[in-house]
Structure 1
Amino acid sequence: MKIALIGASGNVGQRLHRELIARGHTVTAIARSADEIQALDRTNPVVGDITEPETLAQTLAGHDAVISSVRFLAFDPDKLLDAVQTSGVPRYLVVGGAGSLEVAPGARLIDDPNFPDAYRAEAAAGAAYLDRLRATEGLNWSFLSPSAVFEAGERTGTFRLGTDALLVGPDGSRISYEDFAIAMVDEIEAPKHPRARFTVGY
């Protein structure tokens, strides 16, 4: 497939880029600087500004799917959604956050008083964006939330999927960027969560 990847130079974006290429997909890698984009086969590097919806929509047009892998505080939800919808791309996948996941019925991780203040604003913006997607008509989206600890690690291919509840395993709630990328590309290749949030963890 032909995939547009917004935020291809970030920690998660780089892993998504490599996973997509390894599986034979063609990637339009969008980042603020071409120098930051990995020089991989079947890659079209594009310098893009997500604050310019008309230009971004033109870049996204003609792809089978678009993945957004950017910090929620780094973009205007109206402008990005406008670009995605105007482009006519049939599928929109979002690298989400863990803050909006439930730790008990009706209680989100972000609502825990021990939730780190350094991440609270970004987590709140991610939760608001998820709510916005749920209220947007005519858009086939999927929002993949990582576990609470989300960092570089191994590509094991062994993990669990969930829906709206935080996944906790023997070593706590965690997932590597590498295994997160597998789960995201799996969803592109075999969609199971249309217009829904899901989560991945060990």
Structure 2
Amino acid sequence: MKLVVLGANGHVGAHVVTEALLRGHQVVAYVRHPDAVQPRDGLTVVQGSVEDELAMTDAFTGADAVITAIGLRPGAKKPINLMQRALPVITAAAKKAAVGRFVLVSAFGVAETAAMGSPIAKLIFATLVGAIFRDKTLSEKIMPSTGLNWTTVYPVNLKEAPHGPKAVVKPLADVAKVPGIPTLTFATVAATLLDIAADQNMSGLRVLITTDKGWK
């Protein structure tokens, strides 16, 4: 599979690149700062902006899948509207390039998933990452109208650690609550994202990625 990763310098994106290369995929890392990407066999690094439709169309052409794992971290400077600016451009480029699959990495706590969280999780959603999650929520409304073979994923809390137990993937419609603060590793979620990108049955779905007991 030829895969393009946006956000390849971030926690999730970097692990997606590593896992994809281990699986023998051909990977394109589309990044602002190519010097920050470790050169490896099977990896092509392309410098560009997520607001440059032409550059992304060129980078996406011939790809079987695009995984978009961009985002802001807590404490980002205002205005916090990265996803509202970038996602329409990214999806337009993916459509022009006739990308086979498009996977958007969101976060648990965005859109209606916020109401599924525990009291402590809801407090975090409303304060620490409130503006970032509002930006994601507004941007994701365009996904059904993009014409892409898309899946939006909502991983629970993530940490840096070796692969853990396999993640559970559940359509949001099947989830009522997410108790506590379930936590997965970046590596585990990266592997799950690659499985989702290769699964045509996931088209048009919004799914939670969580632990075995991290949903009801």
Asked whether the two chains share a fold, i.e. TM above 0.5, the reply is yes
Correspondent of 2:194 among 160, 185, 188: 185
- Separation in 2, partners of 1:19, 1:101: 28
Q: Which amino acid aligns with 1:155?
A: H
Q: Deviations over 1:4-60 (max 9, x none)?
A: 111111111110001101111000111111111122220001111111111211111
Specify every segment of 5 or more residues in structure 2 that has no aligned partner in the other structure, as ranges: 73-80, 212-216
Q: Deviations over 1:50-92 (max 9, x none)?
A: 1111121111111111111101743413222211211111211
- Separation in 1, partners of 2:106, 2:203: 15
SS of match in other structure, 2:40: coil
When structure 1 is superposed on structure 2, of 115-124 and 39-48 the one drifting more is 115-124
Tell me the CA shift for residue 114 of structure 1.
5.4
Q: How does 1:87-98 map to 2 (within 5 A)?
A: 87-98=97-108
**Do structure 1's residue 67 and structure 2's residue 67 form an aligned pair?**
yes
Tell me the CA shift for residue 191 of structure 1.
3.3
Identity %, equivalent residues? 22
Q: For residue 36 of structure 1, what is the aligned residue in structure 2?
A: 36
Q: For residue 55 of structure 1, what is the aligned residue in structure 2?
A: 55
Q: For residue 15 of structure 1, what is the aligned residue in structure 2?
A: 15
- Separation in 2, partners of 1:144, 1:199: 6
Structure 1 segments of 4 or more deviating over 6 A?
A: none
Tell me the CA shift for residue 102 of structure 1.
4.7
SS of match in other structure, 1:4: strand
Q: Deviations over 1:156-178 (max 9, x none)?
A: 24221212137746x73222111
Shift in CA distance, 161/137, structure 1 to aligned 2, threshold 3 Å = same
- Separation in 2, partners of 1:167, 1:64: 34
**Do structure 1's residue 176 and structure 2's residue 176 form an aligned pair?**
no
Question: How high is the TM-score relative to the length of structure 1?
Answer: 0.86
Tell me the CA shift for residue 137 of structure 1.
4.6
Tell me the CA shift for residue 154 of structure 1.
2.4
Q: Which amino acid aligns with 1:122?
A: I
Equivalent pairs, count? 197
- Separation in 1, partners of 2:65, 2:124: 37
Specify every segment of 5 or more residues in structure 1 that has no aligned partner in the other structure, as ranges: none
**Do structure 1's residue 78 and structure 2's residue 115 form an aligned pair?**
no
